[in-house]
Amino acid sequence: MPVKGFTKPTETPTKRYSSDPKTRAAELVAEGKLGGKQPGAGRPRKSVSEAQSEHRRPAAAAVAQAARDNAESIADVFVTILNDDTASNAAKVRAMKSFLSVEQREAELQLAEAQAHTLPDRPLPESAEEAAAQLAAKLSGNPILAERFSAVLRAAGADTPNPPKTG
């Protein structure tokens, strides 16, 4: 019967650390057992209640919404400054520059939206052969597009009861 309290000797003896706390800490740091990033370490995160997080939004979003709601009043301020005899010339110039820059950005935005909704000015092919030639030219220049297009055609041919004959 084995004696309790004694363990079998291991092949590698256990590492003995110094009894001096500073030296022991330095040895443990060198081995990577002490210090460094530790999971769960550091200041705990603040919890934000759901009621608070629902009402929080960036200040820029709130200002933009207020500007949309009061667009007429904002436009009236520009006109009022331009027509005010007591306003300095510098204030009038700043108002004009701001007024014109807003108008220019709006015109650019409307132009970009109009261009996004229009089709390019390329003429449509006159015949099926011309359309096939244009498609072949596109596919020959892009092997990825050609592979995807052929996969679509194979899938479309598999769904039909009488697939088109090749050859």
What is the pLDDT, as a whole number, of residue 23?
93
Inside any domain, residue 25? no
For 32-69, where are the alpha helices, taking DSSP H only? 50-55, 59-69
pLDDT at residue 51, as a whole number: 53
The per-residue pLDDT for 67 is 85
Question: Does residue 64 fall inside a structural domain?
Answer: yes
What pLDDT is stored for residue 14 in this prediction?
78
Residue 43 covered by a domain: no
pLDDT of 111: 87
- Looking up tokens 């110039």 gives 93
**Is 66 inside any structural domain?**
yes
DSSP assignment of 85-144 equals SSS-HHHHHHHHHHHHHHHHHHHHHHHHHHHHTS--SPPPPSSHHHHHHHHHHHHHH-HH
Q: Structural domain of residue 68, as residue ranges?
A: 59-116
Mean pLDDT by 10 residues, the chain (167 residues): 68 83 90 79 71 67 86 86 88 86 86 78 78 81 81 73 57
In a domain, 28, yes or no: no
CA distances from 77 to 64, 82, 91 (A): 17, 9, 12
Task: Give the pLDDT score at 120.
Answer: 65
- pLDDT for the residue numbered 1: 56
Query: Tokens standing for 15?
Result: 């590492």
Into how many domains does the chain fold?
Answer: 2
